[in-house]
Amino acid sequence: MPAPLDDKLERDLSVGTAWLVVLATIARAEEAIHGYEIARQLAAEAPEGLSFKQGTLYPMLRTMESEGLLRSELVPSSEGPARKCFTLTADGRRVLVAWHDTWRRTNKWVNRVLGGVDELR
């Protein structure tokens, strides 16, 4: 099997799940959360070897904000300049709930299908 295909699934999955995990990270934060903290939490929990380039988070946050999924505010920080912090809008919460549901269904379906190929390992 050609080597580049080995990580195709990983690439595709990280593309497909990026928005979902970013929205979820913002949703579970108790207060407005800034970009660096989102990146830190995502990186800390990312599975071994999964490439998540933290810098791609910022353009994503910006697009989400202009789509109305996020609201941002400048929160003064004792450690430096005011930081741009994000919370979900009502629209953002609605989208997250819908996506969560989609994820659960997809996950269940994939697991069911994969259950049949266990003996290949």
Partner 1 sequence: MNSADRPSDQSPSLDPVRAYLLQLELALETCDPALRHDALIDAEEHLRASVAAGTSPAQAIAEYGSPEEIAAAYRSIPTSGGSLRSSISTLAPSADSRSEPTAGAVHGRASVSSAASAAAVHPDSGAASSRWQRMRRIPLVGVWFHPIAWRSLVYFGIIGFPLALAYFVWVVTVGTIALGMLPILIGLPLLVFLLGSARALSLFEGKVVELFLGVRMPRRTQPVVGVGEGATQVGFWSRILCWLRDIRSWLSLGYLVGNFPVSLAAFTVTLTFSLVGLVFVALPILDLFGLPIGVAEMDDSTRIQFLFTEVKPDADGKLWLPPGAAVPSFLIGFGVLTATLWLARGMGWVYAHVVQAIQVARPRPAAPGR
Q: Which residues bind partner 1 (CB under 8 A)?
A: 7-8, 11-16, 18-20, 35-36, 39-40, 43, 51-60, 62-63, 66-67, 78-81, 83-84, 95, 98-99, 102-103, 105-106, 109
Q: How far is the CB of 28 from partner 1 (least distance, A)?
A: 19
Question: Which residues on adjacent β-strands are paired with residue 73?
Answer: 85
Nearer to partner 1, 33 or 35 (CB): 35
Nearer to partner 1, 53 or 121 (CB): 53
Question: Which residues on adjacent β-strands are paired with residue 83?
Answer: 75
d(CA 32, CA 26): 8
Q: What is the DSSP letter of 117?
A: G
Q: What is the DSSP letter of 30?
A: S
